[in-house]
Structure 1
């Protein structure tokens, strides 16, 4: 039996079904991510697990206990939201200690636990400051400390990094992952950012239109998307119909759809043909730098192909230049 089991979860608002027969298992000590576009149901599913939303039908089990009808405060679940909701009139220490005081722990125990958790999240030097006196990243860590100090069975994080700038966000992704692993916390993380999910997760559950489209570890999700939507959302795959494939290569496809990743496409010598490779001729239409990656868009007989290469000092192509591309058959997925 999994540590968390969600069975046949349905959530409706009136006649609108937001969650449709969701089945989801989470193992103890894992950090799993609910990933998907806005409106797919990921935050609603998280709120059903927390008890902030009632399920229309289905069952939720935590550590073998049926918690479907249990009120939120009795579920032993901690939450960190996009808005950190720190009390502005309390210092970091007071905010972090708040949950322990509600549980009527002794002053000595509270003092010791708060000291330890502030060391873990790196806020010992900011202990006596108020939320307005610390940075956004420090506020996020304070909210995290407040959520985990009560030793919840599960930690839920609902897009807690979406309001933070990109550089700090990457740092906090690593911090949350480190703390989760150090304390062996079972955590459920909600995001619409596929890069964030890839960096942080033991398992990704991709949601689309109220259903789980695919569940897999990050590498498996990236390399082997099971559906067209998974391919379009994870890894920015090139996606082509059989008609487009014939237009590009002159070959016939025995399936309706073919997809491949931009980094799997290689520039090659003119008219070079190799066994087990598709080759094509095109013209560079645009070049965009994404950090250390150059994204070329190549027009191949009227069909755009995205090609990603490392941004290095070697020869680069120019807009309008003719080029030849190859893609290995083994790097292509057909549906």
Structure 2
């Protein structure tokens, strides 16, 4: 998936000229990684400074040049549907933190749907002309497979993921960026798969995961399988899962609600609380998801990015954390433990 973002962090509390801004900076500045070729002889790389990478012009660049700076590393593609929104948001980030030295390192990659056919020089030119923006654009690379760039292997090892492809993930918990509305999920009523209205007050006193789902997504099998495992693991703690079918991402949920319910029950032997099909973005977005996005905005805009974006809700109905589509449900366990054990 294009525009998966790696966060290279160095604690802002010890970082010279620390950023005194919204919490997004905390996620961008605790342990930073960069991409390149390991230049050592025998020792294993331990930081991104151990790597060298070719830039768009073919010149070797030591990533030690980023020492002391916050860096966002991202694999990019010009023909991806996420290109416009991400380049615009990255431009805003770079401008906002310009005085603090934030750097964007972009690596063209053609592995996902062949959506980056241009050479690196053309990518650099196109980004400059279209967005009036000049991130550090490097040579075209592969990020997965046997020909994956060594530094991406290093990065994936440091920030391991799931769902069959190592995860270069966005931690979308931006709790300090949005002021709380004072509402809880208990203020909302939704239609279930049979069309009956259900007050979400039914979840009062229980930990809850709210997730937008799709039957034909590449994330479907892993998410449903692991969500089922979470339900079983926290059965005695009352964990509930509220699943909302949505067809806004690649048309990957064409089924009606009852078909989705049967599909999940038959294939995964799993019965979450399945609700009526909704939109999660745009003018017709369900008010519940507008609320969730307001309370827990995303790194590159508040919109839901894809199927299986997950929200963890505490026992009082407050959104606690937002998880990217590629975040494994099992990765949520430590946060659920914190809720049920407090």
What's the TM-score once normalised by structure 1's chain length?
A: 0.28
Higher strand fraction (1 or 2) = 1
What's the TM-score once normalised by structure 2's chain length?
A: 0.27
